[in-house]
A and B are shown apart, each in its own frame.
Chain A
């Protein structure tokens, strides 16, 4: 049995750019933006170690974990949508995209309850430096998820109207790459804010 994935006719060619160059300019800008915000996190943590030691214990680890699973699953669902499109199964691809939308909605519902839970426990952006960084990072990430949802609705509409084919689904791949990048950013935010103390 082979231990690595074998290549088939549907697999992407080597050396290619997934989606298009434009989306990668956007993704690398997004990663740079968050690199700066992570820099602020590390500097603030170095200056206020006690705040950053106590802060994560006041957050809902359950909400953070649930959102991480929703982001990872959204990434998995969109990867499946691309695979289905390559196999010329647009109906199946659309069903995977609906799951992506449900995961994204679940992320916002979890965030809503998490922020409400925070307020009930006396946690706001003015509670301390850790929470200022927490709200800044999570709100910025939420904005990127929101842009992703707008792109997702467009890709769903295009899939529904038969605009993509196994040979040409550049728009769907571009969206998938963006969604994976937003997932990647959350995979860093989660341990920084909820686990490291």
Chain B
């Protein structure tokens, strides 16, 4: 598969993930399961853009690791702040 063909397919996948996410957001009740799905979707979309659209998969290691880390940490924070919101509120109360 050529690089061009790969990003064609990944573009379609990103659009499909976006539409599926909106459908879920509209039709499902809030809860931990939907939060996990949203966090996972953020991680997958971010990794696709970083690795293939930005072409960092084979690029400078430090830049690649920093950009990839963003999409490990942020989805994790989404889940943790949903689970431990009260703790975060107490921690950040002056």
Contact = CB atoms under 8 A, between A and B. Distances in A.
Chain A contact-residue range equals 35 or more
Interface string A68-81: 11001101100110
Interface stretch (A12-20, A112-120, A148-156): A12-20
Contacts of A61: 22, 25-26
Contact of A191 (B21, B30, B71, B93): B21
Interface residues of B, number: 51
Nearest to B14: A72
B60 A16 contact: yes
A163 interface: no
A14 B88 contact: no
A121 interface: no
Q: Is the interface of A mostly helix, strand, loop or mixed?
A: helix
Interface string B21-62: 110111000100001001001100110011011111011110
Contact of B1 (A6, A11, A18): A6
Nearest to B6: A5
Please name the 9 residue pairs, one residue from A and one from B, whose CB atoms are nearest each other, closest first.
A195-B25, A46-B88, A76-B11, A46-B89, A46-B85, A65-B22, A5-B6, A14-B58, A42-B81
Interface of B: 1-7, 11, 14-15, 18-19, 21-22, 24-26, 30, 35, 38, 41-42, 45-46, 49-50, 52-56, 58-61, 63, 66-67, 70-71, 74, 77-78, 81-82, 85-86, 88-89, 92-93
Interface of A: 1-6, 8, 11-12, 14-18, 24, 28, 31, 35, 38, 42-43, 45-47, 49, 53, 56, 61, 64-65, 68-69, 72-73, 75-76, 79-80, 83, 176-177, 180-181, 183-184, 187-188, 190-192, 194-197
